[in-house]
Chains A and B, each alone.
Chain A
Amino acid sequence: MIRVLPTDIFIFILLASGSAFIFSARRREYWRSAWRQVQRNRAAMVSLFLLSLYASIALIDTIHFEDKNTGVTLSLLDVLATPLRQQVEKTYSAPFATHQYIKESFSATNGTTLRTYPRLIYGGAHLYRSDAKMKDITLRVIKGVSQGSIAAVVLAGIFLGSIHSFITLFSRNGSREKERNISRQLVAYTLIISFAITIPLALLIQCSTSYHLFGTDKIGNDVFYRSIKSIRTGLVIGSVTTLIVIPFAIFFGVIAGYFGGIVDDLIQYVYSTLSSIPSVLLIVSFMLLVEVGETVGDIAWRADRRLLSLCLIMGITSWTGLCRLIRGETLKLRELDYVQAALSFGVNRLKILFRHIVPNLMHIILISFILRFSGLVLAEAVLAYIGIGVDPSMESWGNMINTSRLELAREPIVWWNLCAAFFFMFGLVLPANLFGDALRDALDPRLKS
């Protein structure tokens, strides 16, 4: 039974508007030349690859359905990672460990008690002797790499073959030889990408079911699974927040910039008042108030509602910056020749707005969408620490950091929880920053450094 949670709808809207945008931008030279410039930037392309990897994990995690027997809401990712989800140990265990991290007492057969590290229930349980671990892992890595390579070659072959047959089927007879052949560059890129996808995947399949890749946390949950589950939360906070405010920012910004006068004064007053309140404190005051009265629905529904309201509230506080940018740009566009020409031709004012002004604001919106993204992902962790972040039952990097912030101070230290959370967060934010920079340089030459 498919179940749609509130934020799922927004992710689908984001997906639809993103594809609609790409579809329409493909035909415009302005966007195509920008895309060509981004393509030349190698760091940006690697970032784009990583970002799409994150995005596809989040998408798999977005398709929810209700389990008939238990009534629990699961996502496709939960089902795919069933072993990870269900292999819960008793407490802490280190990455790739076969033994628990904390000693336990056992009563031996002769009546004495023994304090030792017990074997894990799932991690390395297939090994008869735990000192065969290194050999086993090496074997699995070799197996994973070889399986991954074979899969990569097969995948790339299928992809290139279908492209080749597509080209030969649909190209006209008179077209030149060069156009009919697949370029060497395409072959290289296809191979690199398919290797980059299949080898880690094969390694994961080989290792993650029999070991805990990143260890387990205090109550024995697999840290790798928690980090993967957090991806969706991070992406939702980073993207849905801006998505919600874009229509409002465009509406008020364009109206203020285009019509001027008292409307402009009023809108300016509203956003300068809102932006004078420090954003963290405004989010806090909103969140303290929202906390009341969220009692409808089951756990998954409530957690998702809270995530959505967090996005909304962060949107309200970050709305002002985008609105100000759009207003300024509209003021500039209004005086340009082609807008004046349209006006003197007697074109309807509304039509001028939609045909001449709003399309020319798109690059600002796209740039601020991507540059804002990383800041929002980082802010989520801070909000979780203050205690006003996402629901504690929801997996997020902020919650992971918050629950394990004292683990470095304990003896012996537990480092893998924090490291996994920071690592996955860094892996999302750095590519977003690099790609955003490249996109900004390509779209807005004035801002280029």
Chain B
Amino acid sequence: MLAYIIRRCLYAMPIIIGVNAIIFFLFFYVNSPDEVARKILGEKNITQEAVDHWKREHNYHLPLFINSQEQGSAKISQTIFFKKSLGLLWFDFGKSDRNNIDISSQIKRRMKPSLLIALPTFLLGILVEITFAMILAYCRGTYLDYIGTIVCISMMSISGLFYIIGGQYLFGIVLKLFPISGYDTGWYALKFVSLPILIGVVAGIGGDLRFTRTIFLEEINKDYIRTARAKGLPEEMVLFKHCLKNALIPLLTTVVMTIPFLFMGSLLMESFFAIPGLGSFTIDAIQAQDFAIVRSMVYLGSILYIVGLLLTDISYTLVDPRVRFE
């Protein structure tokens, strides 16, 4: 088992390096530091001196790969690649382009509000999905199942923005149950995060429920279920004892995959509700064209994806030993 985990981790290494290479190519090669400087400084007819000055302040004046003016190891260490891109590998994100704030400390501080919304949304979502999927699987072939499927497809055809804007209007403005923007610390946060959580769960139901329902139906047509029924077990017992347990295996893989992404928060939800999480951090950076922050978030997102993939594989071998022997 340990050997397998180590092997999987080693396999992830080239992908991390590849991601780093893509980010470097996009942010330093396609988009030259001169262009970044001009965008940040913002004025149309800016002098070359001002651009150079800004570049020197933010370490963008260095050559890309090899600094021929330096001696020894400084030849490699005094470059953009070493200072800006290689550091990402050990999570050294550096300073932002605009306000010179430390990105790592920002990420650490903003992770909590993001998680406070993403985690409950995720857990509640799974609970609701499995409950409804079991009901639909129990009544498969009836009108209830048919209507449920239609409702699912309709709900997934509605734009996510509609859920947010409509939810804010209904609960925030008409019913005045929740505030529609802001954040507070401690228990006061509950007031601000409950509406985003509610909307997040409702917006996710359509697609996820349909997916879960398909898994349940696949499981319910298998031989061991027929055996259980042939033994004379009541349908409820078959569904809860046999079907649920085995349907959790394919569900687990998709669930584990999304766990790391919870740290990133939701781009839209946080931005609409003005919650100081990582999602709104990213959106603000995009709108302000702060390339250093966008770069860091792209890298962080990719690492979380790779971690998710790793966890999925490992959890799969844990719950289904057949995979390990292959």
Query: A286-B26, A408-B168 in contact; A382/B35 too (CB < 8 A)?
Result: no
**A175 / chain B contacts, CB cutoff of 8 Å:** none
Q: Do residues B19 and A386 form an inter-chain contact, with CB atoms below 8 A? A: no
A426 within 8 A of B: yes
A residues in contact with B165, CB < 8 Å: 401, 405, 408, 418
Which of B157, B217, B267, B309 has the largest number of chain A CB atoms within 10 A?
B157
Are A276 and B302 in touch, CB under 8 angstroms? Answer: yes
Cβ A426 vs Cβ B153 within 8 A? no
Judged by a CB distance under 8 angstroms, whether B127 is at the interface is no
Which of A278, A426, A429, A432 gathers most chain B CB within 10 Å? A278
* Dominant secondary structure at the B interface: helix
Within 8 A of B (CB), among A362-387: 374, 378, 381-382, 385-387
Q: How far is the CB of B159 from the nearest CB of chain A, in Å?
A: 5
Chain B proximity of A1: nearest CB distance (Å) = 34
A269 contacts B by Cβ under 8 Å: yes
The reply to whether A422 and B162 contact each other, CB–CB distance below 8 Å, is yes
The residue among B218, B283, B302 with the most chain A CB atoms within 10 A of its own CB is: B302
Q: Given contacts A387-B286, A422-B159, are A437 and B153 in contact (CB under 8 A)?
A: yes
* Chain A residue with the shortest CB-CB distance to B14: A269
Which residues from 392 to 436 on chain A have a C-beta closer than 8 Å to any C-beta of chain B?
Answer: 401, 405, 408-409, 413, 418, 422, 425-426, 429-430, 432-434
A288/B268 in contact, CB under 8 A = no
Residue B15 at the A interface, CB < 8 A?
yes
Report if A69 contacts B (CB, 8 A): no
> Are A278 and B161 also in contact (CB < 8 A) when A269-B14, A273-B15, A273-B19 are?
no
Cβ A269 vs Cβ B15 within 8 A: yes
**Size bracket of the B interface:** 35 or more
Tell me whether B14 and A378 are in contact (CB under 8 A): no
**Among listed B66-74, B98-106, B289-297, interface-contacting one:** B289-297
Instruction: Offer 27 A-B interface pairs, CB within 8 angstroms, sorted by A.
Output: A269-B18, A270-B18, A273-B18, A274-B22, A275-B305, A277-B22, A277-B302, A278-B261, A278-B305, A281-B282, A284-B298, A285-B295, A286-B26, A289-B30, A289-B31, A378-B159, A382-B160, A387-B287, A409-B173, A409-B180, A426-B157, A426-B159, A430-B157, A433-B156, A434-B153, A449-B213, A449-B217
Seen from chain A, the residues whose Cβ lies within 8 Å of a Cβ on chain B are 269-270, 272-278, 280-282, 284-286, 288-289, 292, 374, 378, 381-382, 385-388, 401, 405, 408-409, 413, 418, 422, 425-426, 429-430, 432-434, 437, 449
Could you tell me which B residues sit within 8 Å of A by CB distance? 14-15, 18-19, 22-23, 26-27, 30-31, 35, 39, 153-154, 156-162, 165, 168-169, 173, 180, 213-214, 217-218, 261, 264, 267-268, 271, 282-283, 286-287, 289, 291, 294-295, 297-298, 301-302, 305-306, 309
